[in-house]
Amino acid sequence: MLAQSPPEPAVAVPTRRRLAGAVAGVALLGAVAAAGGVPGRATYGARVTADEPHYLLTALSLAEDASLDVSDEIAADRYRPFHEVDLLQQARVRDDGTQVVPRAALLPLLLAPAVAAAGWLGGKALLVVVAAVLAGLTCWLAVRRFAVPLGAAAAVTGVFAASAPLAVYGQQVYPELPAALAVSAAAVALTGPLGRGGLVALALAVTALPWLAVKYVPVAAVLTAIALVTLWRQGRRGAAAVLLAALALAAVVYAVAHLAWYGGLTVYAAGEFFAANGGQLSVIGTDPQVLGRARRLLGLLVDAHFGLAAWQPAWLLAVPALAALLRRRPHGWPVVVAPLAAGWLVATFVALTMHGWWFPGRQVVVVLPLAVVAIAWWAGRVRWRLAAAAGSGLLGVWSHAWLAVQAATGRLTWVVDPFATADPWYRAWHRVLPVYWEVNAATWVLHGVWLVLLSAAAVLAWRRAALPFGSAGRRS
């Protein structure tokens, strides 16, 4: 890849049968965890909420009319089976009466056959399948591309697949998990020999990302840059030129299609809100405060309500894992670090808010499987690290299971009040995390404490990574 890898200790290569069994087991675990959330409601008045009903309506329109125009579906109240309350207007009504939802078209296109066959439940079932495939692929990526021991890879990827936010977005109707699957597929291609099949897979994955949401363009651009640099350094200038030409053509098709369907280069041109409030770029805010948003660099991880670690404390291990990965630079390390950084920065500085009308973690789901791979790599050969990852990971699995049971029995919902969970672990744990939507002195004290703790963990991991794995294991 982009840098010479230092010597790594030999790891027994699992047989195909053992690897297939582990991958299937992790995939099944991811499917069960995601499916467990399906009976729960998004809000007390609706099965799905916010953007979800609009994705489902567009899927219905594509299945029945082969059209993005949802005006007839809205007029016929086709959303009532999954959104019992009145639908919040998103699409701008055009002069000819048509309405195109300001949401990317690829997710509805993927959902269309399932929604046509089994309604909203069919759409959620398809996303459960995506969750299963993503979980299995993450395990395979850790084992085959990053030489993580099979048992460790299965344990680490399993606890993350069975907890928030990956398990939650395995049943929420958003493009987050399909986008995460596309990123993971691109990572598989980039860490492999990058032959003809790998280049085709990479091109398809990168092309899919903007069609799932325009916010994924920076991640797609980083993946493309890694591929071009890799091919250039390998002396494969022709392959690099062909890949660049193919992606340029895909970008032209994207632009032409969006101008024709949405009236602008992004889907937001078709939105009622964006048309009335400053145009397409108002999706990132009319007066974005860069310094104020910088708190999200940490907040996306440790916020008491919307932080990843609030629901799955094992995400904290991504900090030392990435520090060690950067220091040791094993084969494929840029494919983990660079897209993950791009996705995190978009969630920090471009997204309108991290406290939205959705389940926590949504803005970073697209790159979280890469963080899982980093944690598996870091923990896989050192017993206490693996114990820490598995132990803290099981706390997250517990929290997700508790949420799923309470949501299924109507005691809370996935969007309105998951923070009201009766889970005793969450009730205790979230008290030591900062609350960024009510900024006060306590918020900044806890912010500082976590910044120091995680910085210290990163520095220590960086220093330990300079030692051979065996020495690090003994001295840690």
pLDDT at 3: 42
Secondary structure element (H or E) that encloses residue 65, with its range: helix 52-65
Q: How does DSSP assign 309-325, residue by residue?
A: HHH-GGGGGHHHHHHHH
Q: How far apart, in whole angstroms, are the C-alpha atoms of residue 174 and residue 311?
A: 19
333-345 helix and 217-233 helix, angle to the nearest 10 degrees: 150
**Phi, psi for 271 (deg, rounded to 5):** -90, 140
DSSP secondary structure code for residue 363 in this structure: G
The answer to whether 202 and 92 are in contact (CB under 8 A) is no
| Mean pLDDT per 10-residue segment, the chain (476 residues) | 50 86 98 97 94 96 95 93 90 89 95 96 98 98 96 98 98 97 98 95 98 97 98 96 97 96 90 64 71 93 97 98 96 97 96 91 97 97 95 97 96 95 96 93 96 97 79 40
Residues 6+ apart with CB under 8 A from 473: 381, 382, 383
By the 8 A CB rule, do 380 and 386 touch? yes
Residue of 155, 149, 157 lying closest to 390 (CA atoms): 155
Distance in angstroms (rounded) separating the CA atoms of residues 2 and 199: 17
pLDDT reported for residue 286: 63
391-418 residues labelled b (16+ CB within 10 A) or e (exposed) = ebbbbbbbbbbbbbbbbeeeebbbbbeb
Classify residue 30: in a domain, yes or no. no
Contact 310, 427 (CB under 8 A): no
H helices then E strands: how many in the chain?
20, 0
Instruction: Let me know: does 368 contact 336? Beta carbons within 8 Å.
Output: no
Q: State residue 4's pLDDT score.
A: 43
Domain carrying residue 356: 37-468
CB hemisphere CA count around 311 (13 angstroms): 28
CA distances from 223 to 184, 199, 336, 345, 368 (A): 11, 12, 10, 15, 15
CA atoms of 197 and 395, how far apart (whole Å): 40
Task: Note whether 27 and 132 are within 8 A (CB).
Answer: yes
**What burial letters (b/e) apply to 278-314, b meaning 16+ CB within 10 Å?**
eebebbeeeeeeeeebebbebbbbbbbbbbbbbbbbb
Q: What is the pLDDT of residue 352?
A: 84
**Residue 431 burial (CB < 10 Å; 0-12/13-18/19+)?**
exposed
Which DSSP category does 66 fall into?
A: S
Q: What CA–CA distances, in Å, run from 51 to 55, 98, 303, 350, 376? A: 6, 19, 23, 19, 33
Residue 81 in domain: yes
* Residue 19 located in a structural domain: no
Q: CA torsion angle for 389, 390, 396, 397 (degrees, to 10)?
A: 150
For the chain, the domain total comes to: 1
Q: Residue 257: inside a domain, yes or no?
A: yes
Query: How far is CA 72 from each of CA 57, 98, 258, rounded to the nearest angstrom?
Result: 10, 8, 21
Residue 9 pLDDT? 62
Residue 6 lies in a domain: no
Determine the pLDDT at residue 240. Answer: 97
Separation of alpha carbons 16 and 19, rounded Å: 5
Cβ count near 236 (within 10 Å): 15
In a domain, 167, yes or no: yes
Dist. CA 145–CA 430, nearest whole Å = 35
pLDDT number for residue 1: 42
Q: Is residue 29 part of a domain?
A: no
222, 342 Cβ separation under 8 angstroms: yes
pLDDT value for 473: 40
Q: With the CA atoms of 225, 229, 232 and 237 taken in that order, what torsion angle do they form, in degrees rounded to the nearest 10?
A: 0
| C-alpha span between 402 and 144 (Å, rounded) | 33
The DSSP secondary-structure symbol of 13 reads: P
**Which value, in Å, is the radius of gyration of the alpha carbons in the chain?**
22
Give the model's pLDDT for residue 5: 44
Question: In angstroms, rounded to a whole number, what is the distance separating the alpha carbons of residues 264 and 88?
Answer: 22
Whole-prediction pTM = 0.93
- What pLDDT shows up at residue 15? 87
Identify whether 183 is part of a domain: yes
How far is the C-alpha of 380 from the C-alpha of 384, rounded, in Å? 10
